[in-house]
A = this chain, B = another copy of it.
Amino acid sequence: MSENINNIQGSVCPVPLLHHDRIVMGHGSGGKMSHDLVSRLFLPYFDSPALRAGDDAGAISLENGTRLAVSTDAHVVWPLFFPGGDIGRLAVCGTVNDVAMLGASPLYLTAGFILEEGLEVSVLEKVAASMHAAAQEAGIHIVAGDTKVVQKGKADGLYITSAGFGVIPAGRTIGGAQARPGDVVLLSGPIGDHGIAVLAARGELGFEAEVQSDIAPLNQLVVAILEASQNIHVLRDPTRGGLATTLNEIAMQSKVGIRIEETSIPVRPPVAAACEMLGFDPLYVANEGKLIAIVAAADAASVLAAMRRTRYGEEAVRIGEVTSEPPGRVLMTTRVHGTRVVDVLAGEMLPRIC
């Protein structure tokens, strides 16, 4: 095979110096190693302004001036069903949310299924029904699909890769690079529910936990936020890597500091208990139905009030503010009034939670 490998044309850079010769689980963590893989291996080949912006969705402009937000997500969550959701709901909501985070209205979705030989047809039917329900809730249409089957042992039940797009209204510029010193950081609700719910479904907690995944389509919450203020600078959903990693991404993209208050960050008691037992920091646990909104200070109170009037923003809170220093860093005022640097997720904490 090597001769075919070496015949491929189009190399634009030397083989990147990743820290590993082989892919490890951490490359899928959403943290530092994922970032390394994307920036050192993929970006040199797939460079485009949309990708380089580093947002959850790419923003592109058609010739007639129409602006679209485009996103894709591969879903490999295990198990396929867990309290509060399943891989189908995840595939729809994950992509809907990424598109919404550019301030776009998600409209259309595609879904590519990779099925393992031997998968029960009834399982696939439940997943399709769940996707249908999530699509109806989000108000989007599934307009293209594909199905492939691999031999038993070459997948794990089923994987779904969704892609989606929506229209960005003229004049709207929301993105990870738009945070400004003085802005206020809002969070739509308690963190860590999704990661802990999936762990519980795996039986890895060692005890019963009453935690439901928060998977939800956030496009209506985004509409409420945008109606409340013309000064929304950043929207981002803290999925893989958790709140900590997402805030760091924004701090780096915007070249600002972010200061958060530990006591202001809501964590449900069973999630806090599970994290304490397992040695996890909830700041790094994945969410699938939460968003961060970074807003001009003058509008923060009205945006927060608007968020709280929506189904998926009832528990929204103010968690901190944007500072000029130190650029690219996230600092947290701890419970004991100290200051802690909050870094990005370094390795892999919870594999295959999305």
Residues of chain A at the chain B interface (Cβ within 8 Å): 1, 4-6, 8-12, 15-16, 18, 20-28, 34, 37-38, 41-42, 45-46, 48, 50-51, 57-58, 60, 62-64, 66, 70-76, 79-83, 86, 107-108, 110-126, 128-136, 141-151, 153-156, 159, 161, 163, 165, 167, 201, 351-352, 354
CB-defined A-B contacts under 8 Å, sample of 18:
A1-B79, A5-B81, A5-B86, A6-B126, A8-B86, A15-B125, A23-B124, A26-B149, A28-B149, A42-B145, A46-B132, A46-B145, A50-B141, A63-B167, A76-B148, A110-B163, A146-B161, A155-B155
Tell me whether A122 and B21 are in contact in the complex, defined as CB-CB below 8 angstroms, given that A57-B144, A58-B143, A110-B72 are known contacts: yes
Tell me whether A108 and B70 are in contact in the complex, defined as CB-CB below 8 angstroms, given that A8-B133, A132-B46 are known contacts: yes
Indicate if the CB atoms of B23 and A118 lie closer than 8 Å.
yes
In the complex, which residues of chain B have a beta carbon less than 8 angstroms from the beta carbon of A48? Answer: 141-143
A105 to B147 Cα, complex, angstroms: 24
A76 to B126 Cα, complex, angstroms: 24
In the complex, which residues of chain B have a beta carbon less than 8 angstroms from the beta carbon of A112? Answer: 72-74, 112, 161, 163
Tell me whether A161 and B115 are in contact in the complex, defined as CB-CB below 8 angstroms, given that A8-B133, A12-B129, A64-B66 are known contacts: no
A159 to B114 Cα, complex, angstroms: 9
Beyond A1-B79, A4-B86, A114-B114, 18 extra complex contacts between A and B, CB < 8 Å: A4-B83, A5-B81, A21-B120, A23-B115, A24-B117, A28-B147, A28-B148, A45-B128, A46-B145, A50-B141, A51-B144, A58-B143, A62-B66, A62-B107, A72-B144, A74-B112, A112-B163, A155-B155
A76's partner among B5, B114, B153 (CB-CB below 8 A) is B114
**Residue on B nearest A82 in the bound complex, by CB:** B4
Indicate if the CB atoms of B72 and A129 lie closer than 8 Å.
no
Count of this chain's copies in the oligomeric assembly: 2
**Residue on B nearest A165 in the bound complex, by CB:** B165
Tell me whether A72 and B145 are in contact in the complex, defined as CB-CB below 8 angstroms, given that A10-B133, A62-B66, A131-B46 are known contacts: yes
**Residue on B nearest A29 in the bound complex, by CB:** B149
Indicate if the CB atoms of B20 and A132 lie closer than 8 Å.
no
Indicate if the CB atoms of A60 and B163 lie closer than 8 Å.
no
A147's partner among B27, B51, B71 (CB-CB below 8 A) is B27
A38 to B121 Cα, complex, angstroms: 12
A10's partner among B63, B136, B155 (CB-CB below 8 A) is B136
A150 to B124 Cα, complex, angstroms: 20
Indicate if the CB atoms of B351 and A151 lie closer than 8 Å.
yes
Indicate if the CB atoms of A42 and B151 lie closer than 8 Å.
no
Indicate if the CB atoms of B120 and A22 lie closer than 8 Å.
yes
Indicate if the CB atoms of B41 and A128 lie closer than 8 Å.
yes
With most chain B CB atoms within 10 A of its CB, the pick from A58, A76, A148, A153 is A148
**Residue on B nearest A110 in the bound complex, by CB:** B72
**Residue on B nearest A51 in the bound complex, by CB:** B143
With most chain B CB atoms within 10 A of its CB, the pick from A28, A134, A149 is A149
Indicate if the CB atoms of A130 and B8 lie closer than 8 Å.
yes
Indicate if the CB atoms of B114 and A161 lie closer than 8 Å.
yes
